[in-house]
Amino acid sequence: MDAAELRALQAPLKQKYREAPQSSIVTMKAHGTLDSEAVACKVETARAVAVAGLHKAAGGTGADLCSGDMLLEALVACAGVTLKAVATALEIPVRSGVVRAEGDLDFRGTLGVDREAPVGFRAIRLAFEIDADASEEQLARLLSLTERYCVVFQTLNAKPDLSATLARA
């Protein structure tokens, strides 16, 4: 896909969202089922069912997916797609690239060992290595716009309103 094709694809959507801002709001959903035998949750993805369980550092076997890993994977996926879209729009041909995310998590907080230890990631680092013919200025703009338009990056960066409920089945 080139810049013109991307613009043509997105132009009617952008026009629709300008004319009817409410039409741009989409409620995305995820669904999981608690495992009756193990400490696990079966999450339905668009392609398969993913079984999430405890990380080894929290007593898991390592056989199930860890939700923390899944969060980092979502960040990598979103950032990679966003970078490619931005590069396409800026007409920066990216021949290849690698996206990496790593995060520091103190399991003392998650396991209730230390009330002062945070629950969740205290730092996340996102890194790109790309093969592209671009100036340093173009690369800086590419990174800046990728950060700006990556949904997962911005969600983590600016805490959204978050709530939880619990009901009887």
pLDDT at 28: 83
Place of tokens 């931005």: 86
Angle at Cα 17 formed by Cα 15 and Cα 23, nearest 5°?
140
What average pLDDT does the segment 46-67 reach?
90
Write out pLDDT tens, residues 7-20.
Answer: 999 999 999 999 99
Question: How confident is residue 46, by pLDDT bands cut at 50, 70 and 90?
Answer: confident
What is the pTM for the complete model shown? 0.87
**Ordered domains of the chain (ranges, CATH):** 66-157 (3.30.300.20)
pLDDT at 79: 96
Write out pLDDT tens, residues 63-109.
Answer: 999 999 999 999 999 999 999 999 999 999 999 999 999 999 999 99
Statement: residue 162 has pLDDT above 80: yes
Question: How confident is residue 126, by pLDDT bands cut at 50, 70 and 90?
Answer: very high
Total number of residues shown for the chain = 169
Quick one: CA torsion of 58, 62, 63, 65, rounded to 10 degrees?
A: 70
> CA-based diameter of the chain, in Å?
58
